Structure 1
Amino acid sequence: MASINFYLDKADKKGLSPIHLRINCSNKQVKISTGEKVSNDNFDKEKQRVCDEVENSNSINHYLQYLYDRTDELINNSTKKKFDTSELKQFLGEFIDSYKTNHQVKIVDKESPKGESFTFIDLFAGAGGFSEGFLQADVKNKYFDFLLANDINENCELTHVVRYNHQLGMDAEFICQDITEPDFLENLLSKLNNNSVDVVCGGPPCQSFSLAGKRKKFDKKDDLFSHYLQVIKILQPKYFVMENVKGILTKEKGRIKDLIIEEINSIVDINKIDQLSKFLLSLNKKSNSYQLDFINRRIELEKYENDKIKYSEKRIDYIRVVENLFKKLTSEGVDYQISKTNVDINTIRHGLNLLGRSKEWDKLKRDIIKEKDYCNIDNDHFVGMFHDFLNELNTDHIISKIEHSFNHLKVPKNLFKLKSNILEALKIYTYSFDDCIKTIESLCSKKEFESFNKIIDDLRLYKIEKPFVANSSDYGVPQNRERVLFIGCRKDQKFISEIAPTVKEKDKVTVFEALYDLDFLKNNEEAHSYKKIDNKKSLNGSFLKLENLIEKRSIDGKKLNNKGKTFAEWSKEGRLHSRFNKSKGFYVRNFEDLKNENKVYDVLSNHKTSNQNEKVIKRLDVIRKSGNYESAKIKLEKLGLSSKKRNYNVLDPYKQSPTVLTIPDDYIHYNSPRSLTVREMARLQSFDDSFIFQGKRSTGGNNRKSEVPQYTLVGNAVPPLMARAVANEILKNIK
């Protein structure tokens, strides 16, 4: 066994002695400077640590322990038994250089990059896949500046802060808050500090959308899409990008997709609403229609979307007009005594009160849904009670009860028209902007329709025809991950209908290209630096065939013969533009470690295999050799290795991986009976190796609902190279 300790070298003029790491083995000694200094009085020789009195002692001692652990791991806990001094110094020097680089005070000239910059924000950001891709983008000296990201989980924020603020030296903000919170927009505008936003990107979950109420009702995710669009309405970016799962296109026979397009088309240029109002007034002079009057009132609400207080006041005003009509009806057609005691009249009257207090009820609903989710209320005897109560507060449900009560009322014939107008007004109250447009169209003559169409074309703020399916493997990602992209283009910008592939079908990046240089781990092992591997030995007869897969490529995956870099080289060196003054990345467990400078400066991070028992390893080996789970099931049963898991994906080194998800056990490495490391999954997603995923490595059970560990950060991310392709297309067209 080798002994490892720290000692102080000769003091300098200031009385500070360099701390050296010393390795003694077989009468040989290796000394390496740690880069830290301390006075003799402030070093505890027995504990081999800096005394507490020293500023940043916690950080320095954490670093010394880290160096000790890496040295012990290399010398005393590895299969290798012979080391030369230069090898030891080189190995430990990489870690020491990373530490010193991050702890040296640097003053740099703040030079603005040449070219034209455009701003973006990333909502539902997760790890930051969209952010990475947008920062990599560069077209004819046009590039993106990162203003702000948002997500609800602390580990998303931690990963963001370490990557963008510490490692890249940016001042991008992060809002760790639920987008449905009443003060989210206020906080967003405050953080943006009057900066205009050119592009908004994000992937609000729309899976829970349903027109027929078949979904799990009143899930917090139900309303995230509409809140995302609310941000778009207020910021009015030149472009916005919304990513979602492919299933959204066929959900409820495509009606959900149509609803999303309709909602996007309902975003209007509030400065042009007066034109439509004037048109409606001229139309109404001819027909004197209550319907047009209330449609005009409903459309007028759009003008106040950016002012929550004013918007709420205008909604109340709308209901007050309806109340006045109802008062007229009851005063003229219902006996006074009956109007005070009749259950139908009270239902109508109180229902209008509920609608007039929608702001207060919306807040209450949000709080109840949040508490329901926190307590995991679902598939139990409580859930029906919650759903019934929340359903009672829905605007549509309140109005349906009002309509039901109206149908029970005995209204005199001379007041039928008034009753009809009240019901029509309530129906219009629930209209989307597009519903209003369709109704107006039906009331226009042929000549009026032409004028109306010109006004609407001018009024709609965004152009979008339909979403399109993008496969990440078309953009240099070694993964078949199909996602739907909605790209909204502001009317003053060039229309974008799709993102052209950057890689031909026959030239796509393979799993082997992405992972071959990381294939030096076995079960329950962790690597902190890259290692040379003998692929010829480990791959046996497959080596020559697999080696031919490794291609020189551009960043976005195009084959360049001998000019470019391999996918693995791009991953190691990084794809970010040279304008970034990058420092070495580091890992921390949480914000407390970040505050206390308890940072881990590994050369290679997030590369650890799971500790799987012998039975699991045998099962994985049978499945791997069979090629897929289905083919292996009979043999697994015979060997007593059956599993209740629904699926295992054996990676094919010659092809692209299937969609990367959040659970590592879903995948089996092509060359070893093991699951993938976080770093390997990140490679399949096209994250650079310098992008370090923070916090817990994994979690399980109910914790998956609230925690976002490293595997979840990776699996939920937008592949950066796909995001880069989107960003480049926007840069080509943005004005």
Structure 2
Amino acid sequence: MVSVKFYLDKADKFNYCPIHLVIRQKDIKIKVSTGEKVLKENWDGNNQEVSTSDYNSVAINKFLIFLKQEVEKCIETTPHSNLTDKHIKDLITRLIESRKENNDVKIVCEDSVKYNKMKKITFIDLFAGAGGFSEGFLQAETKDKYFDFRLANDINDNCELTHLARYNYQLGMDAEFLRQDITEPDFIDNLMAKIKDQTIDVVCGGPPCQSFSLAGKRKKFDKKDDLFAHYLNVIKILRPKYFVMENVKGILTKEKGKIKEMILNEIRSILDLKEFPQLIHFVANLKKQHPEYSFILDCYINRLNFEKAVDKELDTLKEAYINSIENKFKNLAPKIANYKTSKTDINFGTIRHGFNLLKRSKELEYIRKKVIQEKNINDLDNDYFASNFDDFLVSIESDSIIEKIHNSFKNLEPGLDYKNEIDDIILALEIFNYSFDECIQDLSKIIRDEKLKVELESILSHIRLYNIDQPFVAMASDYGVPQNRERVLFIGCRKDQKMIHTVPATVKPEDRVTVFEALYDLNFVGNDDEKFNYEEVNINEQYGDKSNFVKSLIKKRGINGTFTKDGLTYAEWSKRGRLSERFKSAKNPFYVRNFDELDNPLAHIVAPLQNHKTSKQNDDVLKRLSIILNAGNYEDAKKELLKNGISTDKRSYSVLKIDGQSPTVLTMPDDYIHFNSPRALTVREMARLQSFDDSFVFQGKRSTGGNKRKFEVPQYTLVGNAVPPLMARAVALEILNNIK
């Protein structure tokens, strides 16, 4: 029988009594100081806790419970022959010292002389999630440049909690976090207030793939709609030297490749406003050569002017644009119909009201956003409500409004004498909705003089602010990540910067990091278990005849995965961390449940190993996982599962292969089965497969379920949605090597 209790030692000169932990088991008696002190009157000996009269009672009691649980767990799981005074004292001391270091030392990220001589390249991370891009960028350095993290943005509180814990508390940085929906009207104002007057050199981020759609063609309206447009709006305002946009591979073929082209066109439509007057002057001169296009060319000039305006100024320009078309229609109306018809005919009504709707596009955008929010809050999908909501959302799109105006003109059947005027009105409405590139394409059709065509091309070569090559598919395993995760990268390069066409692989296909290298040293957890310290893994005992083979998989590597004799294994890099000496004063890894605990350092659970907890599985689940593991894959195991009466409706399980890479890490831990144990992966193991350092702790709730998945971003989701830091590091290094 083991007894683990606390007692107070003699008071110091301030009357504070040190709290000691004492362990008794048969002939063993161990006493260790916990590092905490309390006034004698604030100690409740019966309940073994600090009373609430002490200001720090909650935090201290939480730590004492944690210590007691770890000691009891250690005694329970350690063979009696290994259970020495030293073994237990070392365990307790590690936990206490880690906590003491974090609480006693004020951590400040001070640049050494080396870093004072280097150039800071500022960056912000939009749609940041856990911070995969941020982590990779902070790992990247060259001889004369490094990245200075200024701000991250996301909408979820656990993203912010994890960010603040990692970058502000643990690494001592002053990076800001903006928790706000990028589509909200005051987002830009709040972003600029946090950035202040700093120049931002690089913007990175990955708008969710649902946000890419062609206007008027949407089948499903999602809360993530139009995030891409707002992402680009940030680019237009900050005008960074480079920006990186990450997305799923499917974006290349979505809507038969039209989405990819739309993205490239929108990026190429970001203009250098200093050069913009040249284009307006050029179009104005065209009117002299083509007076027959005078009205349409005025429309192009007015539409192009949208590019240099934002917010209220843009709203004013759009309203003026529609007013000019409406005035042309008012002059035309008496010619094609009598007064009574113009006032009562449904087609005339549609045209007039359509103009009104187009002038109120900002108000309609607000309505659209609120309807999409309600659609998602109420989970309207695959039901009789969804199509009605979607039809309404389509009806208030400018494309749909313009289409109805067009059809109404057709229904009026005006005479041929007025065909040109009506065609001009219809084209003017279409120009209103054109992208910059569409304007240029149509203008080019008007120009017949070859010299003017050359002049226009010259103007465009100066006016486009960003150059961009075709997007490319990046395979995470090519950059030292033990995972076959494909992502598409768009890299926009400001015209004064060198073009980046791709990010070269750092690892040959045959040399990629294996799952075994990434996870073998963490396989010391059981069912419904949690570990806070690393333990030795006996490979011979776990793998028997396969021991020599699995040992051969462990390679010495550089940070980026390349083989090198004086390197570290992937597991060693994960434990040591891949951040540079700039962060040598970082605090030890710690975990908190919420912001209240984050603000109270005494409430931090400080331990060498975090996020390494397994779920509690019943006997049927354990047996099911064992059968699938032994079969090697889910499909081959189905007959045996059915025979044992433990088949399941779950669509898939992926058994990890020790000598290969994992499939794409997603947000559901039970999609994967460990390669040597019948269990799902822990958060830490999934983080290893994503190439996060072990010191990067995922905060808040571990998992969630049901409808809560729509709103909550627990640890597993943070990991699964992240950009692998080592892939981000490769991107960051490519930028550092090219940026001027």
Same fold at TM > 0.5: yes
- Select which of 672, 686, 691 maps to 1:686: 691
1:54, distance to aligned residue in structure 2 (A): 2.7
Aligned position for 1:621: 626
Aligned position for 1:720: 725
1:332, distance to aligned residue in structure 2 (A): 4.7
Bigger drift between 224-233 and 490-499 goes to 224-233
Aligned counterparts of 2:623 and 2:218: Cα–Cα separation in 1: 40
Aligned counterparts of 1:295 and 1:79: Cα–Cα separation in 2: 81
Q: 1:176 to 1:624 in 2, by over 3 A?
A: same
Task: Name the amino acid aligned to 1:47.
Answer: N
**Conserved 8 A contact 1:21-1:31:** yes
After superposition, give the CA deviation of every residue in 1:13-52 in whole Å (9 maximum; x if it has no partner).
2222222111122243211111122222332222332233
Bigger drift between 486-495 and 269-278 goes to 269-278
Aligned position for 1:570: 573
- Select which of 135, 156, 159 maps to 1:156: 159
1:499 aligns with 2:512: no
Bigger drift between 214-223 and 3-12 goes to 214-223
- Select which of 407, 410, 426 maps to 1:407: 410
**Conserved 8 A contact 2:216-2:399:** no
Unaligned ranges ≥5, structure 2: none
Task: Name the amino acid aligned to 1:253.
Answer: K
Aligned counterparts of 2:668 and 2:26: Cα–Cα separation in 1: 46
Task: Name the amino acid aligned to 2:479.
Answer: Y
Task: Name the amino acid aligned to 1:42.
Answer: N
- Select which of 546, 555, 566 maps to 1:551: 555
RMSD across aligned C-alpha pairs, in angstroms? 1.8
- Select which of 428, 435, 439 maps to 1:425: 428
After superposition, give the CA deviation of every residue in 1:108-129 in whole Å (9 maximum; x if it has no partner).
5844623111111111111111
Q: 1:524 to 1:543 in 2, by over 3 A?
A: same
Q: What TM-score, normalized by structure 1, do the two folds share?
A: 0.96
After superposition, give the CA deviation of every residue in 1:531-586 in whole Å (9 maximum; x if it has no partner).
1121101111111111011111111111002x011100100010011112200121
Aligned position for 2:47: 47
Task: Name the amino acid aligned to 1:416.
Answer: K
Aligned position for 2:269: 266
Equivalent runs, 1:289-300 vs 2, <5 Å:
289=293, 290-300=295-305
- Select which of 234, 242, 256 maps to 2:245: 242
Aligned position for 2:384: 381
Q: 1:369 to 1:212 in 2, by over 3 A?
A: closer
Equivalent runs, 1:97-246 vs 2, <5 Å:
97-106=97-106, 110-111=110-111, 113-114=115-116, 115-207=118-210, 209-211=212-214, 216-246=219-249
Task: Name the amino acid aligned to 2:53.
Answer: E
Aligned position for 1:95: 95
Equivalent runs, 1:312-711 vs 2, <5 Å:
312-411=315-414, 413-444=416-447, 445-561=449-565, 563-580=566-583, 581-597=585-601, 598-711=603-716
Unaligned ranges ≥5, structure 1: none
Q: 1:310 to 1:109 in 2, by over 3 A?
A: closer
Aligned counterparts of 1:176 and 1:627: Cα–Cα separation in 2: 43
Aligned counterparts of 1:589 and 1:81: Cα–Cα separation in 2: 37
The SS at the match of 2:640 is helix
1:485, distance to aligned residue in structure 2 (A): 0.6
**Conserved 8 A contact 2:588-2:607:** no
Aligned counterparts of 2:183 and 2:570: Cα–Cα separation in 1: 40
Bigger drift between 326-335 and 125-134 goes to 326-335
**Conserved 8 A contact 2:221-2:390:** yes
Aligned counterparts of 1:239 and 1:37: Cα–Cα separation in 2: 52
Q: 1:622 to 1:185 in 2, by over 3 A?
A: same
Aligned position for 2:36: 36
Q: 1:422 to 1:227 in 2, by over 3 A?
A: same
Aligned counterparts of 2:593 and 2:426: Cα–Cα separation in 1: 58
Aligned counterparts of 2:243 and 2:690: Cα–Cα separation in 1: 22
Bigger drift between 363-372 and 335-344 goes to 335-344
Task: Name the amino acid aligned to 1:583.
Answer: K
Task: Name the amino acid aligned to 2:283.
Answer: L
1:592, distance to aligned residue in structure 2 (A): 3.2
Aligned counterparts of 1:462 and 1:208: Cα–Cα separation in 2: 22
After superposition, give the CA deviation of every residue in 1:399-439 in whole Å (9 maximum; x if it has no partner).
11111111222545544332222111101001000101101
Task: Name the amino acid aligned to 1:402.
Answer: I
Aligned counterparts of 1:623 and 1:292: Cα–Cα separation in 2: 68
1:183, distance to aligned residue in structure 2 (A): 1.6
**Conserved 8 A contact 2:626-2:678:** yes
After superposition, give the CA deviation of every residue in 1:67-124 in whole Å (9 maximum; x if it has no partner).
2222222225666575211111110111101111121143758446231111111111
Aligned counterparts of 1:505 and 1:552: Cα–Cα separation in 2: 16
Task: Name the amino acid aligned to 1:447.
Answer: K
Q: What TM-score, normalized by structure 2, do the two folds share?
A: 0.96
**Conserved 8 A contact 2:211-2:228:** no
Q: 1:80 to 1:383 in 2, by over 3 A?
A: farther
**Conserved 8 A contact 2:493-2:500:** yes
